[in-house]
Chains A and B, each alone.
Chain A
Amino acid sequence: QKEVEQNSGPLSVPEGAIASLNCTYSDRGSQSFFWYRQYSGKSPELIMSIYSNGDKEDGRFTAQLNKASQYVSLLIRDSQPSDSATYLCAVISSGSARQLTFGSGTQLTVLP
């Protein structure tokens, strides 16, 4: 069983719509959760971090964390073609010496 799971997609949404990206994790003791965006041919860049249950908003991005259900999601409002990228979920587990585990990513395409 993978520690961090994401739907690989591709996920397509029309410009201006809300894009919803989901991630589940296996370690109930996980404490820290991150969303990275990776454009084709580029390195991942951090867009959101969340540590507590609930919602965290930053501009058009909202991260949602539900530790009881072990999922974290990312909502992108008013999606733009420039949001087209692969979105990676990353989790810091409680007992992992490695600390940070990435999901395989969800490819998002925003259609003009």
Chain B
Amino acid sequence: GAGVSQSPSNKVTEKGKDVELRCDPISGHTALYWYRQSLGQGLEFLIYFQGNSAPDKSGLPSDRFSAERTGGSVSTLTIQRTQQEDSAVYLCASSRPGGLGSPLHFGNGTRLTVT
């Protein structure tokens, strides 16, 4: 079926504005992750959803960042009052349930530029 879908693919916003990034995981995948990747850097974990469990928000860098996942499917990452240091590629990934752990499938990311 279709892969992980993220929108928009690119977003340019002015400092101080709010942005919403969307992720549509692969159907049937119960786990959903958000990562951030700055230019030339590794993956920075932001938040993890697993089924109906409380999300692991330990990676969110500040209270300007929030995420929700409605109906166990689509997820939205919201960044309020954006700052220039928020500029990065935001990657969403999902995985199916699995006894030993299932690999992640990544979307193509949203490139956020804060001017």
Contacts and interface: CB of A to CB of B under 8 A. Distances in A.
B105 A88 contact: no
B56 A102 contact: no
Interface residues of A, number: 22
A105 B95 CA distance: 21
A103 B58 CA distance: 17
A46 interface: yes
A39 interface: no
Interface stretch (A16-24, A55-63, A92-100): A92-100
A104 B106 contact: no
Interface string A69-112: 00000000000000000001010100001111111110000000
B43 A102 contact: yes
B42 A46 contact: no
Interface stretch (B14-22, B77-85, B96-104): B96-104
A86 to B, nearest CB: 8
B48 interface: yes
B107 interface: yes
A100 B33 contact: yes
A43 B106 contact: yes
A32 B31 CA distance: 16
Given A98-B48, A103-B42, A105-B42, A31 B56 contact: no
A34 B103 contact: yes
